[in-house]
Amino acid sequence: MKNSVVSEIKRSLKLSTKGIAVLIIAAVVAFVYVRTHPRWKEAELTIESADRFYDIHDLDPDGTTLETRILPPEGYERVPVSEGSFGEYMRKYPLLPDDIKLPVYNGTAMDYSDCAAVFDISLEKDGYQQCADTVIRLYSDYFYETGQLDRISFMFSNGDKCSYNNWRKGKRMFALADFSCEIPAALPSDSHQQYMNYLKEVMRYAGTLSLQKESERITPEELQIGDIICNNAHVVLIADEAVNEKGEKCYLIGQSFIPAVCFHIISRSEGNDVYSWYTQEQLEQDSFAIGTFRFNKENILRWKEGF
């Protein structure tokens, strides 16, 4: 009798051990799956009038794209851009109506005075697509829409790269703290949903630090559409460029921030006047403000080979 009881206890322990092992394996598999299968969920945005109490120079409220909404300053002309270029892509980007509050990812709308125009761009429901995320989104969407899929590749903050071409083939990045590695974890897919899932993965682990690592410093004179002004805390994007007969340039500069909002062109004030364009002279100063953020000349960068 005693021996049979002991045998039954041993058998139960073996079964319990196997059961625990199965549960642990299942938990690990589930954990890896969740970490490697992000899903982009589009936010529902609120479009709300802002009742702007000031006029912005060189702004046509009836314009529906960047090039038709914000006109060059007097004496300036937009620099020529080639067909199919990132410059053309930005100029023809559709805008939300003039004089609205900034749509926020959580369905609210924010009063933000330093805003000249708001891009009609989707946001992610979980609050991604902040400052660096939005730059990555615009770069990536341009490559995606022009068929340059091999150029959709971004560095995580730890230095590892995440390639959309590999993502399409079913490879996924498993990341935990500062560690990441690429593993085969899904079936190949070219769906737009998987493209957006890829972007969410990049937004999880990239940021201003990784953009800086992938970029080279340039001078203010070299600035062109697609370049960035980036420090550890924030990044803004050169969205458009104009020049006068003297060769003096000015720029439209855009951003998102925390909380995630639609990409927008940042206005600036001089006394009682409000402008959309930032001059080359302003960006040549040792320290300068763009909206509510401060930068210096060393923060002027070109991502990879530029546009």
Query: 131-145 vs 192-205: helix axis angle to the nearest 10?
Result: 150
Q: What pLDDT score was predicted for residue 20?
A: 67
Q: For residue 153, tell me if it sits in a domain.
A: yes
Q: What pLDDT score was predicted for residue 165?
A: 98
Q: Is there a single domain that holds both residue 102 and residue 150?
A: yes
Q: Is there a single domain that holds both residue 142 and residue 242?
A: yes
- Per the structure block, which two tokens stand in for 84? 């199919």
Q: Is there a single domain that holds both residue 151 and residue 295?
A: yes
Q: Is there a single domain that holds both residue 71 and residue 31?
A: no
- Per the structure block, which two tokens stand in for 192? 């737009």
For each of the chain's 307 residues, which pLDDT tens digit applies?
A: 666 766 776 676 676 666 666 555 555 555 556 667 899 999 999 999 988 878 999 999 999 999 999 999 999 999 999 999 999 999 999 999 999 999 999 999 999 989 999 999 999 999 999 999 999 999 999 999 999 999 999 999 999 999 999 999 999 988 777 778 889 989 999 999 999 999 999 999 999 999 999 999 999 999 999 999 999 999 999 999 999 999 999 999 999 999 999 999 999 999 889 999 999 999 999 999 999 999 999 999 999 999 9
Q: Which residues lie below 8 Å from residue 216, measured CB to CB, with a gap of 6+?
A: 301, 302
Residue 199 · residue 153 · CB < 8 Å: no
Q: Is there a single domain that holds both residue 200 and residue 272?
A: yes
Q: For residue 27, tell me if it sits in a domain.
A: yes
Q: How far apart are the first and last CA of the chain?
A: 83
> What is the per-residue pLDDT across 116-130, written as a single tens digit (0 to 9) for each?
999 999 999 999 999
Give the sign of the dihedral formed by CA 62, CA 65, CA 70, CA 74.
negative
* Omega cis (within 30) before 259: yes
CA atoms of 249 and 102, how far apart (whole Å): 28
Q: Which residue range forms the structural domain that includes residue 181?
A: 66-303
Q: Is there a single domain that holds both residue 75 and residue 159?
A: yes
**Which DSSP symbol is given to 149?**
G
Number of domains present in the structure of the chain: 2
Query: Phi and psi of 230, rounded to 5°?
Result: -140, 125
With DSSP H G I counted as helix, E B as strand and the rest as coil, what are the percentages for the chain, rounded to 5? 30, 30, 40
Q: Is there a single domain that holds both residue 227 and residue 298?
A: yes
Q: For residue 180, tell me if it sits in a domain.
A: yes
Q: Is there a single domain that holds both residue 135 and residue 244?
A: yes
Q: What pLDDT score was predicted for residue 10?
A: 66
How many of the other CB atoms lie within 10 Å of CB of 255?
25
Q: For residue 51, tell me if it sits in a domain.
A: no
Q: Is there a single domain that holds both residue 192 and residue 114?
A: yes
Q: Is there a single domain that holds both residue 129 and residue 266?
A: yes
Q: What pLDDT score was predicted for residue 89?
A: 99
